[in-house]
Amino acid sequence: MPLGSVETKLSGQRLGAPDTLGISTLDPGHRPPTMPPGRHVTIRVRMLDDTEEVFDISQKASGKVLFDLVCSHMNLIEGDYFGLEFQNHQKMMVWLDHIKPIIKQLRRPKHTILRFAVKFFPPDHAQLLEELTRYLFALQIKQDLSCGRLTCNDSSAALMVSHIIQSEIGDFEESQCRSHLLNNNYIPDQMPLIDKIMEFHSKNIGHTPAESDFQLLEVARCLEMYGIRLHPAKDREGTVLSLAVAHTGVLVFQGHTKINAFNWSKVRKLSFKRKRFLIKLRPDLNSSYQDTLEFLMASRDCCKVFWKICVEYHAFFRLFEEPKPKPKPVLFTRGSSFRFSGRTQKQVIDYVRESDFKKIPFERKHSRVQHNSRLSPLPSPRHQEVPREVSVVSNSPHLSASSGHSHGMVNGQKSLELCSHSPNGRQPSPLTSPLLNDAGSVRTDDEDEVRRKRFPTDRAYFIAKELLTTERTYLKDLEVITSFQSAVGHDEATPDSLKNAILSTFEPLHKFHTGFLREVEQRLALWEGRSNAHIKGDYQRIGDVMLKNLQGLKPLTVNLHKQSEILLELEKACRASHKLEGLCRDFELQKVCYIPLNVFILRPLHRLIHYKQILERLCKHYLATHVDFRDCRAALADVSEVVEQLQGNLIKMENFQKLLELKKDLIGVDNLVVPGRVSLKHPHEFIRLGCLSKLSGKGLQQRMFFLFSDVILYTSRGMTATNQFKVHGQLPLHGMTIRVSEDEWGVPHAFTLVGQHQSVVVAASSLTEMEKWMEDLKMAIEMAKTSNGPSYDLLTSNETDNSLVEAESEDDMTPSHTSLEKPALHRGNTMVHVCWHRNTSVSMVDFSIAVENQLSGNLLRKFKNSNGWQKLWVVFTNFSLFFYKSHQDDYPLASLPLLGYSVTIPSESENIHKDYVFKLHFKSHIYYFRTESEYSFERYGSFYHLLSYLLAKLVYINVLDFLKLFCYIRVMKYLAYCIP
């Protein structure tokens, strides 16, 4: 190749490669690079709000030093989407190179104005996790509209302007809106569209500035010219064209119409030779030759500028980590040494989700709306690190502005892991970090050791104590249902049959278990020696208490098989009455309802299984001659009989409960919960949900998939107050096949779902995730072959016939009617959202295991960099730890979802010189927990190990019958309790 030619091969680590963490100069705790010595110059930077900022910097400093100063000034975390552009000596607009010194790029720094602008436009604005980032993107869209760069039809333009003025002047008022539009031009030919803009503006009432930014980006991202920067060129025949680059690849335009696109997966090499820009494509599967396309540009420099942008776009969106620099040649250079410098999009998203940093308010200079500035970062000279332990000064949903940083609420609970913000300010992330107020909690070390030594050390005592602690939690759960009955029971919208069913089932249970808990507490007090009674062997047992109470409980369990009727009756009543539906939703958002409401309804069934497990452990521990053995064995026989009778019905109800929960998380599904879909005769069951990357014309995009026994849905997450997932399409399983597609697409862990009418290419985050999905899909496909039941169309009736095609055209960009209304609040901490943030999946079998196993009790907790231990009451259920100050609290103060976490024992280097300590860690998040006994240590540690083991090994189970799969796992679970 001639020395003047330059090329780059499009290769490197792709999405799905092993996880790595990039280090940014903006990371908390990492200072920007030291300013090199030399003469300083003053550089002006024009920001996206048209203000100018001045920065004093050494001429020898690299471009990245200046760029980091700009981002630090704004407290911009996701700065990697942006860049600094300027006009070079050839009158061409170019991006400031991060690696080269400024003196080599700016000939006259004092007389050059750099523009801060969006450089990389992601396919989905939901990937922008910070409100400040979305605000800056909105300003960029506003500029592109104004200068005519973002072309679109009149309806699209009017709709976008309506969102802009909603952010700037607030809710619609006719005279004010018209006056504002007459004095401000947002699009080149605005006058004929004023009435249309006002009509759209009147539908935006109630939208905050952050929501308006989101809706603006929602419309803009669907336009063909979104983020497009045209570079003039000609083809071999001399036809005038334009080249552009996007996250998907290289695009060809004629005027403002896209006429061709070359996806990154199809491009083997990009290069330029003098004025010729070359695209070498991968060979076609049916042909052996390689096709090279050639475009003629105005000059070599024009080619090089465009080539550089292509290199950066490819690296940012396609590579997993920043490419390493090539070794310098010994004798002479060959071509350009340019490379992409900075974090890739994957690294940016991972960094923001995993980092702890303070949210500092910022002022919207173009907005007259009084909005909650608590939600947004403020320009700051540097980032501030969040201390590991934060004092919570209020239990109200919104902390005072003087608190310095915001702690969002998730379902009424403190959500202190500072991740992405939804447009309305509520944190959608369910990854709640358990940072509690230390003031009300006891920090204890040696005094707890002394207290522990006073109590019995017999294993039977700790088993009995587990009965006590979990019974306290169970009684609280029953109180949630009785509170719900009181909340809706006096409303005329609640059917009498539903009132009577709840009242007749749960009131007697609550009364009974109140007395049962009192007896267990009294027995444990005698066992511990905390009463005046003489401690004899007669008091060091629990089997007699359990036998007596289980026999008394037996008459109350005869109606438990009707709990599915309560779930169905509640669902029907909510469908028939919007008022009752609102009452249920409001109740579920209360702090006491820390898990989905209908899970509480199934608690009595799960509690019987808990009793069975406790009695099995006692019988295994005791010798046959022990005074308590006979009573424990008799109690075990009684509860086993009841559990066996209810087991089949429990599987059906758990599936129904999960369908009801998923219905609340999905938008665009009409027939998810219908009688036929929950019938055991026609096993249309929920099987697995989780994240996969879907390959489309926009590249790889994160999607949430929902697998049922007859169909698989794929959805995207909305950044709205509802925190719901919008269904994009469905694939029937009947006739589907699966093939591994890593080699075909060059993406790790990729496989193709080949349906009768359409194929979808997806990629999992890891090999294990891919195997789980493929195994469950194969099982579901086999079930679909043998099932004689009907196949349901789950999408709503207003979906188009071509429902499998995602909305990508300009005609589909207008938000749905529901997006223009003020949405109702929605739970944001369900497992669906946890799977989304942790990029993992969970099956119905996993849910069944987790919901039936619950632990409660006191734990001592320590953070990685703290000294003392904090005593907390902890409930472990539904894959999560819920933290309370004491067992008397009515609701948890924080929670920690454990999907993705690992449990280990601390190493010597961690200096945790205490007994019974286990460590929970997920990437950079580390927590230490101490239990009071070896038994409790085994229960927390071993159970989590067992859960992790089952979750990992499920992929190797090849069972065609879904019900047999449930039975297999339950047998495995019960056998596991026999493992010491």
> Which residue has tokens 């003469």?
39
End-to-end Cα spacing for the chain: 69
Q: Which helix (H) or strand (E) holds 587?
A: helix 578-588
Cα separation, 643 vs 875, whole angstroms: 24
- pLDDT the model gives residue 953: 38
- pLDDT the model gives residue 393: 31
Encoding tokens for residue 396? 């109200």
> Which residue has tokens 């709840």?
502
Cα separation, 969 vs 846, whole angstroms: 9
Degrees, nearest 5: CA angle 265-271-273 = 160
Encoding tokens for residue 526? 């005698």
- pLDDT the model gives residue 398: 32
**Which of the four CATH numbers 2.30.29.30, 1.10.10.2840, 3.30.9.10, 3.20.20.70 does domain 668-786 have?**
2.30.29.30
Contact, 474 vs 554, CB < 8 A?
no
Distance of CA 49 to the CA centre of its chain: 31
Backbone angles phi, psi at 20, to 5 degrees: -135, 155
Q: What is residue 109's DSSP assignment?
A: G
Coil, strand or helix at 623: coil
Distance of CA 401 to the CA centre of its chain: 27
Coil, strand or helix at 609: helix
Question: Which residues are paired to 195 by β-bridges?
Answer: none
Q: pLDDT tens for residues 398-431?
A: 323 333 333 333 333 333 332 334 444 444 444 5
CATH number assigned to the domain covering 859-964: 2.30.29.30
Among residues 72, 62, 60, which one has the least CA distance to residue 24? 72
Q: Which helix (H) or strand (E) holds 215?
A: helix 209-220
Query: Domain 459-665: which CATH class?
Result: mainly alpha
Cα separation, 329 vs 35, whole angstroms: 28
Contact, 720 vs 736, CB < 8 A?
no
Domain ranges for the chain: 125-222, 230-318, 459-665, 668-786, 859-964
Question: Which residues are paired to 269 by β-bridges?
Answer: 9, 280
Question: Which residues are paired to 841 by β-bridges?
Answer: 690
- pLDDT the model gives residue 795: 60
Cα separation, 73 vs 26, whole angstroms: 11
Contacts 24+ apart (CB under 8 A), 152-159: 152/223, 152/225, 152/810, 153/810, 154/192, 154/193, 154/196, 155/196, 155/814, 156/219, 156/223, 156/810, 156/813, 156/814, 157/187, 157/193, 158/193, 158/196, 158/197, 158/199, 158/200, 159/200, 159/219, 159/814
Contact, 881 vs 855, CB < 8 A?
no
Encoding tokens for residue 676? 């036929």
Burial class (CB in 10 A: 0-12, 13-18, 19+), 478: buried
Question: Which residues are paired to 141 by β-bridges?
Answer: none
Mutual angle of helices 934-953 and 459-489, in 10-degree steps = 70
Among residues 939, 932, 927, which one has the least CA distance to residue 916? 932
Q: Mind giving me the DSSP string for 51-89?
A: -EEEEEEETTSBHHHHHHHHHHHHT-S-GGGEEEEEE-T
Q: State how beta strands 666-667 and 725-732 pair.
A: parallel
SS (H, E, C) 132-147: HHHHHHHHHHHHHHHH
Neighbour count for residue 822 (Cβ, 10 Å): 10
Whole-number Cα distances in Å, 106 to 38, 87, 101, 114, 312: 16, 9, 9, 10, 21
Degrees, nearest 5: CA angle 347-351-357 = 160
- pLDDT the model gives residue 785: 82
- pLDDT the model gives residue 762: 92
Strand order across the beta sheet in which 257-263 lies: 6-9, 267-273, 276-281, 292-296, 231-234, 240-246, 249-254, 257-263
Q: Which helix (H) or strand (E) holds 663?
A: helix 629-665
| Per-residue buried b or exposed e for 426-439, using 16+ beta carbons within 10 Å of the residue's own CB | bbbbbbbbbbbbee
Degrees, nearest 5: CA angle 450-435-840 = 115
Q: pLDDT tens for residues 571-627?
A: 888 888 888 888 888 888 888 999 888 889 999 999 999 999 999 999 999 999 999
Burial class (CB in 10 A: 0-12, 13-18, 19+), 798: exposed
- pLDDT the model gives residue 704: 94
Coil, strand or helix at 804: coil
Q: Which residues contact 814 (CB under 8 A, 6 or more apart)?
A: 155, 156, 159, 219
Q: Do 859-964 and 668-786 have the same topology in CATH?
A: yes
- pLDDT the model gives residue 532: 52
Cα separation, 29 vs 356, whole angstroms: 11
> Which residue has tokens 């104590």?
465
Q: Mind giving me the DSSP string for 893-916?
A: SEEEE-TT-EEEPPPGGGT---SS
CATH fold of 230-318: PH-domain like (2.30.29)
Contacts 24+ apart (CB under 8 A), 623-632: 627/537, 627/538, 627/541, 628/460, 628/541, 628/542, 628/543, 628/544, 629/543, 630/543, 631/541, 631/543, 631/544, 631/546, 631/547, 632/542, 632/543, 632/546, 632/547
- Locate all alpha helices (DSSP H) within 89-153, ordered by sequence: 131-147
Half-sphere exposure of residue 635: CA atoms within 13 angstroms, side-chain side:
28
Q: What is residue 401's DSSP assignment?
A: G
- pLDDT the model gives residue 882: 93
Mutual angle of helices 563-576 and 496-528, in 10-degree steps = 130
Contacts 24+ apart (CB under 8 A), 787-791: 787/682, 787/683, 787/684, 787/709, 787/710, 788/682, 789/676, 789/679, 789/681, 789/682, 789/683, 789/684, 789/710, 790/676, 790/682, 791/710, 791/711, 791/732, 791/734
Cα separation, 318 vs 10, whole angstroms: 9
- pLDDT the model gives residue 292: 86
Coil, strand or helix at 733: coil
Encoding tokens for residue 124? 């989905």
Mean pLDDT for back-to-back runs of 10 residues, the chain (980 residues): 44 36 35 67 92 89 91 91 90 90 86 93 87 94 94 93 94 92 92 94 91 93 92 90 93 91 88 90 63 90 92 88 61 58 86 69 65 37 33 31 33 35 43 48 50 70 94 94 86 85 89 94 86 60 94 86 81 87 87 89 92 94 92 95 86 86 83 55 76 83 91 82 81 90 82 90 92 93 73 51 34 35 52 88 88 86 83 91 91 89 87 87 87 83 48 35 43 42
Query: Domain 125-222: which CATH class?
Result: mainly alpha
> Which residue has tokens 């849905």?
713
